Amino acid sequence: MTIIRSLRWQFIDPHRSFVAERLKALKAALRAEIHDTTQQNSLRLATWNLMHFGDGGGYDRSPESMLYIAEIIDHFDLVALQEVNRDLTKLQELIDHHLGEEWDYLVTDTTGGGPSDRGPGNNERLAFLYRKAKVRFCNEAGEIVLPEGQKIVAPRADGSNTELQFARTPFSVAFRASWLKFKLCTVHIFYGTGAAGLAQRKAEIERLAQFLAQRQEDEAKAMVARARSRDWAKPEEAGWDSNLILLGDFNIISPEHETMKALEQAGFDVPTALQTTNLGNDHHYDQIAIKAAHPGFKVLKSGVFDMFASVYRDEDAAYYVDEVKPPIIAKPGRDRAAQIAYFKRYYRVQQMSDHKLL
């Protein structure tokens, strides 16, 4: 259960009442879509690109948005986040003041250059948030670094090729939930445009999927061999622990595009319910891809949660413009119609995200 006592002191009526009503609507939607359709003993897993989380400026989340973000996360047991910023203040606030002691997190170092030189990695971090009563960190974590001969081949502007590591290094962590052991690898694949950019995007997905598939096969064989050497009754079952889930923002063009095929050709299965994920429902960037080993591993339900059906709705635009009046919306010279358009196009995605949660 999230910590919502900030409603008492961070808001004054009528906005306190408004936020309380939106929070109730959000809770009801999450309960109906997530908890009422899954069993308590199932693992509720999610991935969410949280759009420049902690980046400040126009992306600085308000106390209201932090309540909503925490409520969404708290309806799951394990959540992979992409686009966490170098500054971890907001992430720590999310844990300490909204999710509470039931939750913990793991986070990578930043990618890219210094504050004035973001580089292709954009100074981003990848993170896992997990409910300690349901999920256990198995003391294994690492960033994926490709060996020589398996690096990403990317075209240069002059027509030649260069070999690269990932623009944002994927983050792999071992977890356990009840009997299920698994490795979760979260990614934010390079976003490139034009022929060269798409080639690098496809190459990152292809190299990562192949690397992880081979690693899974090697680890399963090692588990079985070790079990046989110790005279286990059923050594073949030792390989059942090598379950792999690859999730995050893949910047995949479409289910039919070669960027998706690069994932599927390595043996990963992507539930069809997860293949339309952005706010306009015409992109397929985010994915959860599975390569299971345990015969008891089953995907019971999958889907995409639309937070803007409950909070920051289209019909709320006039209220924010006329009553709340955030300074970033109510800029001098911007008439009311332009402010409403700004709320719908920019403000609400800056406060929540331009990606839906899977």
Contact present, 135 and 196 (Cβ < 8 Å): no
Q: Which runs of E-coded beta strand occur in the chain? A: 45-53, 78-84, 103-107, 125-131, 136-143, 152-155, 161-164, 171-177, 180-188, 243-249, 286-291
Which amino acid is residue 270, in one-letter code?
V
Q: Tell me, what's the pLDDT at 164?
A: 78
Answer yes or no: is pLDDT of 121 > 70: no
Residues 6+ apart with CB under 8 A from 144: 166, 169, 170, 171, 172, 185, 208, 211, 212
- 309-312 long-range contacts, CB within 8 A, separation 24+: 309/29, 310/22, 310/25, 310/26, 310/28, 310/29, 311/22, 311/23, 311/25, 311/26, 311/68, 311/352, 312/343, 312/347, 312/348, 312/351, 312/352
Residues 6+ apart with CB under 8 A from 14: 323
311 confidence band (pLDDT: 50, 70, 90): very high
Q: What is the DSSP letter of 96?
A: I
The Cα–Cα gap between 274 and 168 comes to 23
**Token pair belonging to 48:** 């969410």
Which amino acid is residue 89, in one-letter code?
T
Instruction: Give the CB-side neighbour count of residue 263, counting CA atoms within 13 A.
Output: 31
Which amino acid is residue 292, in one-letter code?
A
- Cis status of the peptide bond prior to 271, with omega within 30 of 0: no
Q: Tell me, what's the pLDDT at 309?
A: 96
Dump pLDDT digits (tens) for 39-54. Answer: 888 999 999 999 999 9
User: 198 forms bridges with which residues in the sheet?
Assistant: none
Dump pLDDT digits (tens) for 178-197. Answer: 999 999 999 888 777 777 77
Q: Tell me, what's the pLDDT at 281?
A: 55
Q: What is the largest CA-CA distance in the chain?
A: 78
Answer yes or no: is pLDDT of 277 > 80: no
Answer yes or no: is pLDDT of 276 > 70: no
114 confidence band (pLDDT: 50, 70, 90): very low
* pLDDT higher at 205 or 133: 133
The Cα–Cα gap between 52 and 72 comes to 17
How many CB atoms are closer than 10 A to CB 101? 9
Which amino acid is residue 131, in one-letter code?
R
**Token pair belonging to 102:** 């039931």
Contact present, 312 and 348 (Cβ < 8 Å): yes
Q: Tell me, what's the pLDDT at 16?
A: 96
High-pLDDT (> 90) share of the chain, %: 53
Residue 24, classified by CB atoms within 10 Å of its CB into exposed (0-12), middle (13-18) or buried (19+), is: exposed
Mean pLDDT of the chain: 87
- C-alpha separations of 237 from 178, 215, 219, 224, 318 in Å: 17, 18, 13, 7, 59
The Cα–Cα gap between 345 and 314 comes to 10
Instruction: Give the CB-side neighbour count of residue 140, counting CA atoms within 13 A.
Output: 11
Answer yes or no: is pLDDT of 211 > 50: yes
Residue with tokens 């047991």: 77
Rg (CA), the chain: 21
